[in-house]
């Protein structure tokens, strides 16, 4: 092998080495960026979830770690998909259950709710996690659009009586929206079913062992 050939081989080897180093550095940078982004997304999801929870059950009342005291249930009356139940306790005693998500088909797509029920059977509140309802009509279930969803707070199956857990058009006590009765009807039904499920299963839900490796951030 002459000197010229050896020189060409050295140059090729050097180029390949440089490209390999840059490839490794690039892959490491992408992995680092993805990891940092994933951690930030998970943290944001966790913070958003807890902000919604604390609207339903005041933070100062909860003494346990909600994200570690969680179970997953199969409850067809609440959702076609598994439902996470986060258990709030105060000094070891049952305080509230947060069902998330409770899901119903709405007018334009699924409506996903977070429902908080206190140990005495009263609603801590209800929040809409996501929906596809018609802007200006069905989207009034969103607390950013109207205060309609806030009307569930403090209610129970005794207030109003069960037969009145309907929109006014159906003989109940809850307002419907002009031009959009289906959406509030679906939400009222979902909340009613959650209260009924809670009344039947409360003791069991609080007693079940928590998941061993719950996710760091809810993905709802």
pLDDT, tens digit (0-9, with 9 covering 90-100), for 26-71: 665 655 555 556 566 666 767 888 999 999 999 999 999 999 999 9
Element of type H or E holding 140: none
Confidence label for 15 from pLDDT (cuts 50, 70 and 90): low
**CA separation, residue 81 to residues 44, 131, 171 (Å):** 23, 16, 30
CB 101 within 8 A of CB 79: yes
Edge-to-edge, what's the strand order for the sheet holding 83-90?
Answer: 70-73, 83-90, 93-105, 110-118, 123-130
The two beta strands, 123-130 and 93-105, are unpaired
Element of type H or E holding 203: helix 182-207
CB 97 within 8 A of CB 73: no
> Look-up: residue for tokens 């951690």?
39
Mean pLDDT of 74-94: 96
Start-to-end CA distance of the chain, whole Å, equals 66
**The pTM is what?**
0.79
For residues 7 and 13, give the distance between their C-alpha atoms in angstroms, rounded to a whole number.
Answer: 10
């Amino acid at each position: 092998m002459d000197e010229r050939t050896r020189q060409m081989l050295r140059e090729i080897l050097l180029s390949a080495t440089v490209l390999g180093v840059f490839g490794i550095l690039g892959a490491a940078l992408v992995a680092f960026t993805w990891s940092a982004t994933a951690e930030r997304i998970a943290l944001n999801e966790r913070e958003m979830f807890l902000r919604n929870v604390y609207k339903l059950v005041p933070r100062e009342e909860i003494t346990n770690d909600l994200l570690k005291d969680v179970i997953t249930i199969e409850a067809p009356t609440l959702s076609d998909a598994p439902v996470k139940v986060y258990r709030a306790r105060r000094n070891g005693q049952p305080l509230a259950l947060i069902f998330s998500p409770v899901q119903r088909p709405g007018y334009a797509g699924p409506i996903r709710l977070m429902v908080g029920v206190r140990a005495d059977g009263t609603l801590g509140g209800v929040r809409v996690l996501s929906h596809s309802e018609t802007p200006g009509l069905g989207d009034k279930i969103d607390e950013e659009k109207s205060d309609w969803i806030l009307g569930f707070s403090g209610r129970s199956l005794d207030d109003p009586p069960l037969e009145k857990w309907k929109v006014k058009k159906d003989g109940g006590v809850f307002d419907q929206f002009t031009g959009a009765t289906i959406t509030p009807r679906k939400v009222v039904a979902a909340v009613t079913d959650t209260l009924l499920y809670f009344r039947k299963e409360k003791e069991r839900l609080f007693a079940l062992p928590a998941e061993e490796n719950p996710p760091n951030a809810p993905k709802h």
